[in-house]
Structure 1
């Protein structure tokens, strides 16, 4: 599949898992940018943010994003206390509903538009990128 042929990815759907701990500064920007990119690439997607016991405004910002745009396809999984990055990833993977799962940090370190490069590698022999 080439970057211009994303039919397999479009058909399969994608769950994006973002662990978050005290990410109030960038979480809204990251989720918004990711949603815009995924809307262009796949028909079925969900964004799963695992709030790993944040003590800042991260939970309120996520709730506000959901309330302001119900079509955002944002799901929030909440840990009542900080359980760590691995536990947050595991919770996100457990919550994922689509065939493809993308994990990325919620602090903007990853350039979201690069998702197309990962999706373009899909073929019958690719299990993980």
Structure 2
């Protein structure tokens, strides 16, 4: 019997009204291994465009996809949206999915493999390993990712290649048991540091594809978020703030 009956897909969304139906269509088309069901939890972080209308229209037209829609009363940041979605997850495992088209839901099955083999509690999808396709974009952005991963590894004693990846698969009871504080992009280093401290935790990494966006196409993360991520690495990794 599969250790997973349901996978919760947590999707924070901010001003993704023009494309969110496309990623939902991709998720709907994924056939998960071992008969695993899908639960999609969309957290609208007080978008100012038609994100809500797009989600509700898609849900009405596609009732076979189990979608729970949550709307934040004000813009609180990606991390805060993830906190809200994680709290509502009912699957044995959950995965984080951005609302854009940078990551391919067909690769859920790749991330699930170490879990289905009984080897992993957490699986990170790395954009920097394997032979999967990667859009060629920003040198300094890639260098920044590598630097943050390196510093994070120093304090967690992990050998991750992509700490900042979106695709993180967690055993739900583990992540729901953490106290998570970061409201924006500091979520990544915080959850990594706190997961690494769980006794006996089994963390795996698999290669994934990456179809990155330019800033003109809607990419939102900036250098300020990189500075905050470094602060969070020191706060939760070096100082081990709970």
Band the TM-score falls in, shorter-chain normalisation: 0.7 to 0.9
By how many angstroms is 1:44 displaced? 1.8
1:124 and 2:118 matched: yes
Structure number with the bigger relative contact order (C-alpha 8 A, sep ≥ 6) is 1
**Structure 2 portions without partners, runs of 5+:** 124-242
1:16 and 2:9 matched: yes
By how many angstroms is 1:43 displaced? 3.5
Q: 1:60 matched to which residue of 2?
A: 53
CA RMSD of aligned residues (A): 1.5
Which of 1 and 2 has greater Rg? 2
**Aligned equivalent of 2:78, options 74, 85, 98:** 85
Cα separation, 1, equivalents of 2:119 and 2:76: 34
Cα separation, 1, equivalents of 2:47 and 2:25: 20
**Structure 1 portions without partners, runs of 5+:** 1-6
By how many angstroms is 1:32 displaced? 1.1
After superposition, the Cα gap between the structure-2 partners of 1:126 and 1:43, relative to the gap in structure 1 and judged at 3 Å, is: closer
Cα separation, 1, equivalents of 2:6 and 2:62: 20
**Aligned equivalent of 1:115, options 98, 103, 108:** 108
Q: 2:95 matched to which residue of 1?
A: 102
Give the TM-score normalised by structure 1.
Answer: 0.86
Alignment size in residue pairs: 120
Could you list the structure 1 runs, at least 4 aligned residues long, displaced by more than 3 angstroms after superposition: none
Alpha carbons 2:38, 2:65 under 8 Å: kept? no
By how many angstroms is 1:94 displaced? 0.6
Alpha carbons 1:35, 1:47 under 8 Å: kept? no
Cα separation, 2, equivalents of 1:112 and 1:98: 17
* Larger deviation, residues 40-49 vs 57-66: 40-49
